[in-house]
Structures are given as C-alpha cells and as structure tokens.
Chains A and B, each alone.
Chain A
Amino acid sequence: MLHLSGASYRYAGYSKEVLHEIDLVLGDGEIVGLVGPNESGKSTLCLVASGLAPASIGGSLRGTLTLDGQPTAGLSTYALAERVVVGFQNPNTQRSGIAATVFEEIALGPMNLGLPVAETVRRTHEAIARLRLEALVRRDPLRLSGGQAQLVGIASLLAMRPRHIILDEPTAQLDPAGTRLVGDALRALAAEGTSLLIAEHKTDLLDGLCTRIIAIDDGRIVLDGPTATIFDDPRLAELGVEAPSRARLSRALADGGFDPSVVGAALAGGVA
C-alpha cells in the first residue's frame, strides 16, 4: 500500500508550496486515475508519491509517504526504486541513452537492481510480452517513433516488477490501439496485486480502467471517489476536465429528455 498523508510540497528554491495537504491511499491491486487541468500539480503529485520529491530533486515535503508500512523519509533513490517507479510522458527523457538495443534498454532497470543475469533476462522478456514489443527488441532505442519509444519506456519500468507504479500520461503519444494495449497491461498488473496511479487526460481510458478517480486543482485534491461517481460529477467541467464519453452523452441525453440507458447498452454492445 502507498500512503501519502498530509503532504505539502515546495520545490527547492521556490517560496510557495505547490501541493497542499494531500491525502492519498493506493491499495494493492487498485488502479487510481488522477485528473486535473494542466499545471494543477499532477506531475508534482506523481513525483511526491514516488518519493523522488524530495529524495532526488530536493525541496521540502511536509507530511509523510509510507510504502508498505515503511516510511520513505531518508531512503535513497535506489532503495525507493526497488518499491515504486514513476514514468513521465516525454519518451526522450525516459531513454537511458546507453543501450544499443531495445532489449538492453528494458533490461537496464533489473540489471541495476543487482539481479542475477537469468532473473534480469526473465523480467525483460516478461515486460516485452506485456506490451507486445517482440518485434522491436533488436532496434536502436534512438531510432524509434514517439509511440514506440513511449511503450519501451513503460516496459523499462515494468521490468523492475515494482509494487507501486505511477505513470504521468503514459498514452500521450499512442494511437488508440496502443492506448488499449497499455490499458490491458496495467489491468493485468493490478490483478497481480500491483497498485497503480495514472495521471491522464483521456478520461475514456480511465473510465474503463480505474476503480477510483482523484481530481486535483491548484495543488489540492478536490474530488476523490469511485470512478462512476466522480465522472458523473458536474463539477468536473468547472475543473476543466473532460468527462468520459459515457458520462457526457448520458448527461446530454438526459438533459434532452431522452433515456440515457442506451449509452450503457451501446458500450456493452461494442463495435461489430
């Protein structure tokens, strides 16, 4: 379990806090979606929830972060890396820059953890399989398209088999098929007990994936609850968060005096 309690964070060299009194609980096997307008503190929250703020970037954190019962204060970044990973949306920065092939790139994480070679190879293959990257294993990581690089970046994190995964817009560069692929992989991981926090604009993706949704604005959590409840909340629009298609159309139909249940039926029916 990942537990952030009363977290307020200020970046190094800045006078104002960017996060205020954040309480966040991520249970094992839970997938929590994080929504909010840009510049609301989503990325900062991802950094704090992973412990990298302040362990790596400094700054000052009030409140506590506890991972599986152990407080993270004073833990080194590599001790944190064994428990929790965070991925950012820019595939260029996710790339290590020292791997000759995609296979090596994905293997770097487990290797750095000091694992025996056989285990490293096993975890690498597993991560590759989860994201169907078999065709890319021999490619030069520098020569991938944005979408491919993003998938490789996520796989590189999965290979470390962390108990907690935090992803900041993991599908930004992906086409609809890639987005579904990532959604399926994350769902499978949650079923195995991993806890996940996903910051995304694609509320349709979150709608089908998450058990809970947290909405953040101006560094504060303003909504926190089950997915259906939060996505039906009209306050989302004020926050500048697009409701998922299901909720949006249900509301539009209901407002027009029509029966909104067709929406659920159409979703369930799928596309022939």
Chain B
Amino acid sequence: MIGGYLGPLVIVAIVIASASVAGVAGRLVRLSLLLTLPIAISVVLVSVFTRAGTHVVFTIGPFDATTEGIDFAGQTLVRLLAISTSIGLFGITTDPRSFVLDLERRRLSPRFAFVALATLEAVPAMVERASVIAAAQRARGLDTEGSIRARIRGLLPLAGPVVLSSLTEVEERSLALEVRAFGRPGRRELLWRMPDSRTQLAVRGALLLALVATIVARITGTFPQLP
C-alpha cells in the first residue's frame, strides 16, 4: 500500500525542498493548498464512500467508508499535491515574459509570442483604463461609494466605456502594430536572453530521462496501480 504513496510524496518533498532553496516554500505551500483543496475535498468525499471495498471503517447514513476507499482517496490526494506543487513552483519561479520570449528564441512563432505577451499585459492595461473611466464618471456624479443598489446601477457607466473604448481602439492599435512591422515573417533577433548554465541543462536532461523512465515503468506495469 505504501508503494502508491512513495513516488508522489518523494516528488512533493523534492519540489518543496527546491522551493525553500529558492525562498518561496511558504508561497508555494499556500498556493498548492489553495489550488488542491477544492478538488481534494470532493475527491475524498466521493471516493471514501463510493469505492468498492470490503473493510468498512465507519458508516454515515447509507454510506460506508471502506479502507479501500480511504486508500484510494489518499493516493489520489498525494498525486494531486505532486502535480499542484510542481506546476506551482514553475509558475512562481518563472517570469512569464522571459518565458514567452525564450520560447520565441527557441522557435516559437513571434505572432504566438505576441498574443501571449499581450494577454499578460491585458489585465493591468484594463485596470488602468478602468480607473480613468471611474474618475470621469464619478466626476459626473456617479456614486461609487454608496449603497449596493447605487453600485449596481453604476456598472454600465463603468464597464461600458471599458469595453467600448477597447473595441474602438482595436483598429488603430493593430494599424500602429503593422507600422512597426509586427507580422513580418521570419525570425527576429531578440534583445533578451534568459540566462542558462550547464548545471541547469544537466538537470533538465536528467528530468527528461526520469520522465521517460516513469512512462516506461507505467506501461510495463512496474509501477503500483491505483487500488
């Protein structure tokens, strides 16, 4: 039974250890719990009680909690943790802009890179726009500090210009981009370069091998299966 837990727990341990080296262990734990908890609760509830099993541990109403069910829930939980902590660590330690630009350097299409980067900037730009709009509407007597009803009535004058001005600007925006030769086919020499090292290259290589080995082990049935 322990076999089903070992692998994922080792991964979680490695990830959290790496995170503390990077100084982000606290953030990572909070983030993964935040991401995993909602799913975990529903998975646990469902599997503890509905998994076919023979050893009943306790009963609530018509539902039997079996050891098989608890085991399944536990193993699923650690797998979820392994996934969320790994992805979380990647997200926390990677600057999204550098990441996209490095992908472009490695042959990602510049168009795709542009869309990705523009999406990253989209929210701050909208927030900026919205605050200017809010100021103008408040100056026209829109009450944003009053009752709930007043605030609901204020949604259209606040959200309306955000959407409208974004839409009307799209054409001029794309024209301005074309003037600056966006969409020119071929590669471009980027100003940026994400720093790399032999060690990082070696680690990436080792991880890739580990991935391949894991897949092989899974297919050939060497790995413990879920109960």
Contact = CB atoms under 8 A, between A and B. Distances in A.
Interface residues of A, number: 39
A111 B179 contact: no
A112 interface: yes
Contacts of B185: 78
Contacts of A117: 189-191
Contacts of A120: 189, 191
B161 to A, nearest CB: 13
A77 B183 contact: yes
A93 interface: yes
A96 B180 contact: yes
B135 to A, nearest CB: 14
A176 interface: no
B171 A156 contact: no
Contact of B184 (A56, A81, A92, A143): A81
B118 interface: yes
B46 interface: no
A50 to B, nearest CB: 7
A57 B177 CA distance: 13
A78 B178 CA distance: 7
A57 B180 contact: no
Contacts of B182: 78, 96, 112
Given A57-B171, A81-B181, A160-B181, A94 B176 contact: yes
Contacts of A87: 176, 179
A33 interface: no
A97 B121 contact: yes
Contacts, number: 100
A222 interface: no
B56 interface: no
Nearest to B124: A142
A104 B184 contact: no
Interface string A90-112: 10111011101000100111011
B121 A113 contact: no
A157 interface: yes
Contacts of A57: 171, 175
Nearest to A113: B181
B187 interface: yes
A121 interface: yes
A85 interface: yes
A210 interface: no
Nearest to A109: B180
Interface string A58-98: 00000000000000000001100110011110101110111
B35 interface: no
Contact of A88 (B121, B176, B180): B176
Given A57-B171, A93-B172, A97-B118, A111 B178 contact: no
A160 B182 CA distance: 12
A86 B179 contact: yes
Nearest to A153: B176
B117 interface: yes
B186 interface: yes
Contacts of B196: none
Nearest to B180: A109
B169 interface: yes
Interface string B119-144: 01110110010000000000000000
Given A94-B176, A97-B125, A78 B169 contact: no
B117 A112 contact: no
Given A97-B125, A109-B181, A90 B191 contact: no
Interface of A: 47, 50, 52, 56-57, 77-78, 81-82, 85-88, 90, 92-94, 96-98, 100, 104, 107-109, 111-117, 120-121, 142-143, 156-157, 160
19 contacts: A52-B178, A78-B181, A78-B183, A81-B180, A86-B179, A88-B175, A88-B176, A93-B176, A94-B176, A108-B180, A109-B181, A114-B184, A117-B190, A117-B191, A121-B191, A142-B124, A142-B128, A156-B180, A157-B180
Interface of B: 97, 110, 114, 117-118, 120-122, 124-125, 128, 169, 171-191
